[in-house]
Amino acid sequence: MLQDTIAAISTSLGEAAISVVRVSGPQALDMARRVLRLPAQVAPRQACLVSVLDATGGVLDHGLALYFKGPASYTGEDVIEFHGHGGVLVTQRVLERWLACGARAAEPGEFTQRAFLNGKMDLTQAEAVMDVIHAQSTLALRAANEQLGGAIGRAATAMQQQIIPVLAHIEAFIDFPEEDISPETGADLLRRIDSVLASARQLIATSAQGRILRHGARTVISGAPNVGKSSLLNLLLGFERAIVSPTAGTTRDTIEEIIQVHGIPLRLVDTAGLREAGDDIERVGIQRTERELERADLVIEVVDASQPPPASQRLTLSPELARRRILILNKSDLGLHPDWSSERAAIPLSCLDGTGVEALRDAIRAVIATAGPLAADHPIAINARHQAAFERCAERLLAAKAALEHQEAPEFIALEIREAMQALGDVIGQVDVERILDVIFSTFCIGK
């Protein structure tokens, strides 16, 4: 049990109709009796209209108080929420009142940290709280909510459940050194390990889209000067973000904006047109374009298709990135030059009248989201931390397999499997998998 009681403004500070001050900890209700004018009996989970009093008994604010009696609260502790007027000064004065009555100002994330420490959620769920708040697209929000609901934690726990009997089997042989693991038992254990490995690989495969959901797919608009790259950025954004002009070399720095296409978050990057640089500034701009292309998830290559294809100036992309390139035949309102007709997958578009934008949106979805979590009904998309842990788990399981196949000592195999268990424990924030294992095994009988 955490001893101190924490308080914080839970809504963002600025003028609004309502702001919420949240307090959590063992003294929350006692403090509330001093800070708020509360009725004698406070029923949990029932809003009551209260005043906030200053040190002299004067009224600071009026609003609603809610009492959540621990452990049935967000943090697992006693929690008081005060919903008051959403002014900057009034909210700060209300918070100060709680602090004057003994509460400590909460650190960032501390309410959720307490929820985790008090066993209200696992670590993946705690992470998902921020994913929900930061979600920039409907698909990102859906994946965050799946995680908040415990989907990733359940997957890791299920894998642990599959490993435990394997470990129990192998540990049994440690106690009976005269016995060998029979070929049938060995084959059965290998099959079980393979099944967990397959789950690990499936989850690891969601990490690329997990990154896209959390940070947006880096989408670089690239092409020669004056083809309409900035015009396309503005068109997709729906407002005039970048400067558009008939002068070649208008955009000299990269411009980034987040948009949503069919529920997918895109980090759109408008770049300097690629050509022989006219001056130093343009040269730096072009270097930035090249750097952006190296880390792009998607490239929208724009050409002026009212003109014949240029001899040079087309993008050279890695084979991998070339598969994630969409070619836009811009300025189609001026009529497409027939030499572009061989580019079958290209999309004719006009930034002037908006023709082709829907086809572009569909193409973006097709390139990024045809498989994996972005296309799933219940998307699971792991983050970089989960990825590292699942990869460690897979490595240890592979090592265990190899050891089993080479009939190495059961102690050694068991060690690898315990480390795989620990990696899964790290995903959900189990501090001491060893201890949990010992508790589980103390209920096993020999040979089981």
Bind-site residues for GTP: 226-231, 245-251, 270-273
| Number of neighbouring beta carbons within 10 Å of residue 448 | 11
Taking CB under 6 A as the rule, does residue 231 contact ligand GTP? yes
What is the rounded CA–CA span in Å between residue 418 and residue 400? Answer: 10
Among 76, 228, 372, 425, binds ligand GTP (CB under 6 A): 228
| Residue whose CB is less far from Mg ion, 77 or 270 | 270
| Residue whose CB is less far from K ion, 169 or 252 | 252
CB of 226 closer than 8 Å to CB of 261: no
- Report 417-436 residues binding Mg ion (CB under 5 A): none
CA-closest candidate to residue 204, choices 441, 440, 419, 424? 424
The least distance separating ligand GTP from the CB of residue 252, rounded to whole angstroms, comes to: 8
Taking CB under 6 A as the rule, does residue 250 contact ligand GTP? yes
3-state class (DSSP) for residue 257: strand
Q: Which residue has the tokens 């029923």?
A: 43
Q: Which amino acid is at 335?
A: G
Among 54, 257, 333, 419, binds ligand GTP (CB under 6 A): 333
70-102 burial code (b ≥16 CB/10 A, e <16) = beebbbbbbbbbbbbbbbeebbeebbebbeebe
227 binds, among Mg ion, K ion, ligand GTP, none (CB under 5 to 8 A by kind): ligand GTP
CB of 218 closer than 8 Å to CB of 295: yes
The least distance separating Mg ion from the CB of residue 113, rounded to whole angstroms, comes to: 45
| Residue whose CB is less far from K ion, 250 or 355 | 250
**CB contact set of 290 (below 8 Å; sequence gap of 6+):** 274
The least distance separating ligand GTP from the CB of residue 336, rounded to whole angstroms, comes to: 11
| Residue whose CB is less far from Mg ion, 16 or 248 | 248
- Report 255-284 residues binding ligand GTP (CB under 6 A): 273
Contact characters 355-384, Mg ion, x per CB under 5 A: ------------------------------
The least distance separating Mg ion from the CB of residue 136, rounded to whole angstroms, comes to: 24
Contact characters 111-140, Mg ion, x per CB under 5 A: ------------------------------
Give the range of 245-253, 300-308, 378-386, 429-437 binding K ion by CB under 5 A: 245-253
Angle between helices 28-35 and 88-100 (to 10 degrees): 120
Contact characters 221-250, Mg ion, x per CB under 5 A: --------xx-------------------x
The least distance separating Mg ion from the CB of residue 58, rounded to whole angstroms, comes to: 59
**CB closest to K ion, residue no:** 250
What is the rounded CA–CA span in Å between residue 32 and residue 129? Answer: 27
Taking CB under 6 A as the rule, does residue 329 contact ligand GTP? no
| Residue whose CB is less far from Mg ion, 157 or 307 | 307
Among 246, 319, 335, 338, binds ligand GTP (CB under 6 A): 246
Among 112, 226, 231, 383, binds K ion (CB under 5 A): 226
Taking CB under 6 A as the rule, does residue 63 contact ligand GTP? no
CB of 339 closer than 8 Å to CB of 309: yes
CB of 230 closer than 8 Å to CB of 243: yes
- Gyration radius of the chain over CA positions: 29
CA-closest candidate to residue 142, choices 297, 296, 265, 258? 265
Backbone dihedral region of 12: left (phi > 0), alpha (psi from -120 to 50 degrees) or beta? Answer: beta
Provide the pairing of β-strand 48-53 with 59-68.
Answer: antiparallel
Among 10, 11, 92, 250, binds K ion (CB under 5 A): 250
CB of 280 closer than 8 Å to CB of 288: no
Q: What are phi and psi of 350, to 5 degrees?
A: -135, 120
Torsion of CA 12, 16, 17, 18, to 10 degrees: 20
Paired strand residues for 269: 220, 256
Binding site for Mg ion (CB under 5 A): 229-230, 250-251
Residues that bind ligand GTP (CB under 6 A): 225-231, 244-246, 248-251, 273, 330-331, 333-334, 350-352
Interacting residues with K ion (CB under 5 A)? 226, 245, 250
